[in-house]
Amino acid sequence: MVPSNVLTTGIQTPLNILIVGAGVCGPAIAFLLQKANHRHNITIMERGSTLRAAGQQIDLKNEAPFILEKMGLLDRVKACCVNETGLEVVDANDRQVAFFGVSPSDERGLTLTSEFELMRGDFVGVLYDASIEQDTKLKSIEGYRQGLQYKFGETVEKLDQTPQGPVDVTFSSGKYGGRYDLVIGADGQASRTRRMMFGEKASAASFHPLGIHGAYFSIPGIKNEGSIAKVFFSTGRKMVFTRPSDRPTTGVLFFLRGDFAQLDECYHQSIAAQKAAFTAILDGFEWQKDRFQKGIESTDDFYATKLGQIKLKTLFKDRTVLVGDSGYGPSPFTGLGTTLALLGAYTLAGELTKHGDNMGEALRNYENKMKPFIQEYQQIPSTALSLVFVSSRPAVWLLNQFAWVLSKFSTMMPQRPNVIDYRGRLPEYPELRLVDDTQK
Ligand SMILES: Cc1cc2nc3c(=O)[nH]c(=O)nc-3n(C[C@H](O)[C@H](O)[C@H](O)COP(=O)(O)OP(=O)(O)OC[C@H]3O[C@@H](n4cnc5c(N)ncnc54)[C@H](O)[C@@H]3O)c2cc1C
């Protein structure tokens, strides 16, 4: 018998595709697939009742700006970029210890701030709007079928792989959701699609914890907070970043490393319980404690998570495939999660379009092409983590001195030539009919 994942679908055959999750990858891959073939039927299911616009600043680095340029969306993204002009390391008296500037998008510099910084919600909004606008334009073209549909407030309960190839889907409402040629799991780090594909045990084992807890939230800005981000390294292996970026609200990223049983518990509880757990942890914090504790209480975009990386042997099973954080989330600590996710969406759309006649080949190629990127982007030297999460006051003092030396060193060094050609190593897919391909 021919395995279901090598069954042919015909090169120009329009596909019936279900995408689970309308974060970064969901709308991006829908946009790319529909641009290449307006006859595809694409349904995106988002668990949230609306687009989830929460989240703090994300970076677009390396290949990401080139992909957005090809999609014709780079100018829209640039228009949403926030104004962050550097990163200051401060001591408990808010005195500057070290300063790092902005690094170009193709450099993994010493600083937090890169050329393309924008709020996650704005980026998701750009991709969502672009997918809707494109679908509206395509409606008048001959051959257009159902097009693109977003379904909010619902998710997938069950996936049944049929022996013929397509997947039968049951929605969380209990209703039969239809038969799809392909199901794409773009449902983030805690992916339910991944659990349905590989089982609870294997899915849980794919999460490799970094031993770091993180909380992200917005708080009201304060006068003259300006455009410079700050980081404060604290005793007890904690650190906090503030990112005002000339906005009325300031983004806060709070990280701590180690075993905190009360935090392990809280992720399974309500947002109120998570807020309470992080507020308690902040007791005794040496910098802006009251502001952060009050901010946690009043914020409506509190998001906390245990940081880790998703590592899987394979990204697909039969006709279900994972893209973005669900398949290879590198953790926000790399600063490359959104870049890798976008690269995944582009590569999957490219391979599906190129090998539309052979789904198995498309999925295998996608996996093979992504593997080196995943390996590269998931690298976090454990020494780097030990260096920045320190326990004692003398260790914090030493870390601050080290930051000062690094900041001076980085300004004295000549601009590093870019050694990686990020544009050049992007797989080429003229089949996707993107901006520079159609201009050739
Ligand atoms: C609310 C939120 C806030 C975030 N904040 C930050 C941040 O501040 N900094 C940072 O670096 N990264 C943040 N991230 C992660 C970042 O968006 C991703 O690392 C990256 O952009 C990859 O995107 P993705 O599309 O793979 O996953 P995500 O952007 O996580 O999107 C996944 C989407 O799937 C939806 N979903 C989840 N489960 C289901 C389900 N069972 N059925 C249907 N839909 C489902 C989610 O609601 C979400 O819309 C955040 C993610 C979320 C969801």
Instruction: Name all contacts of 72-77 with Cβ < 8 Å and 24+ positions apart.
Output: 72/434, 72/435, 73/126, 73/127, 73/130, 76/126, 76/130, 77/116, 77/118, 77/123, 77/126
Mutation probe of ligand 1 site: the residue of 49, 116, 120 with most atoms within 8 A of C-beta: 120
Q: What is the pLDDT of residue 364?
A: 97
Mutation probe of ligand 1 site: the residue of 51, 58, 122, 128 with most atoms within 8 A of C-beta: 58
Q: What is the pLDDT of residue 335?
A: 87
The tokens for 380 are 């976090």
* CATH code where residue 175 lies: 3.50.50.60
Residue 176 is which amino acid? Answer: Y
Domain count, the chain: 1
Cα angle 2-202-322, degrees, rounded to a multiple of 5:
60
Instruction: Name all contacts of 411-420 with Cβ < 8 Å and 24+ positions apart.
Output: 411/101, 416/107, 418/104, 418/106, 418/107, 420/62, 420/106
Q: What is the pLDDT of residue 9?
A: 40
Atom of ligand 1 nearest to the CA of 329: 19
Atom of ligand 1 nearest to the CA of 52: 49
- Tell me if 267 is assigned to some domain: no
- CA-nearest residue for atom 37, ligand 1, is 187
- Tell me if 413 is assigned to some domain: no
Mutation probe of ligand 1 site: the residue of 18, 19, 20, 24 with most atoms within 8 A of C-beta: 24
Q: What is the pLDDT of residue 5?
A: 34
- Tell me if 36 is assigned to some domain: yes
State which residues form the domain around 197: 12-77+118-206+309-380
- Tell me if 351 is assigned to some domain: yes
For residue 157, what is the enclosing H or E element? strand 156-161
Q: What is the pLDDT of residue 142?
A: 83
Ligand 1 contacts CB of residue 347 (under 6 A) = no
Ligand 1 contacts CB of residue 192 (under 6 A) = yes
Q: What is the pLDDT of residue 2?
A: 33
Ligand 1 contacts CB of residue 271 (under 6 A) = no
Instruction: Encode the chain (440 residues) as per-residue pLDDT tens digits.
Output: 333 333 334 346 899 999 999 999 999 999 999 999 999 999 999 999 999 888 889 989 999 999 999 999 999 999 999 999 999 999 999 999 999 887 766 655 556 677 888 999 999 999 999 999 999 999 988 888 889 999 999 999 999 998 878 999 999 999 999 999 999 999 999 999 999 999 999 999 999 999 999 999 999 999 889 999 999 999 999 999 999 999 999 999 999 999 888 898 898 899 999 999 999 999 989 999 999 999 999 999 999 999 999 999 999 999 999 999 999 999 988 889 999 999 999 999 999 999 977 999 999 999 999 999 999 999 987 788 888 999 999 999 999 999 999 888 776 665 555 678 899 999 999 999 998 654 44
- Tell me if 369 is assigned to some domain: yes
- Tell me if 20 is assigned to some domain: yes
- Tell me if 159 is assigned to some domain: yes
b/e per residue 79-89 (b: at least 16 CB within 10 A): eebbebebbbb
Ligand 1 contacts CB of residue 61 (under 6 A) = no
Q: What is the pLDDT of residue 406?
A: 87
- Tell me if 44 is assigned to some domain: yes
Residue 93 CA: distances (Å) to CA of 97, 134, 220, 391 = 10, 52, 20, 19
Q: What is the pLDDT of residue 122?
A: 96
Residue owning tokens 């090598």: 6
Residue 229 CA: distances (Å) to CA of 147, 225, 236, 348, 375 = 42, 9, 22, 35, 29
| Cα 326 to middle of ligand 1, angstroms | 9
Ligand 1 contacts CB of residue 106 (under 6 A) = no
Atom of ligand 1 nearest to the CA of 344: 26
| Cα 188 to middle of ligand 1, angstroms | 5
Ligand 1 contacts CB of residue 332 (under 6 A) = yes
In this structure, how many other beta carbons lie within 10 angstroms of the beta carbon of residue 91?
Answer: 15
Ligand 1 contacts CB of residue 301 (under 6 A) = no
The rounded distance, in Å, linking the Cα atoms of 43 and 178 is 11
In sequence order, which residues have a C-beta less than 8 Å from that of residue 15 and are 6 or more positions away?
9, 33, 37, 40, 41, 181, 182, 352, 356
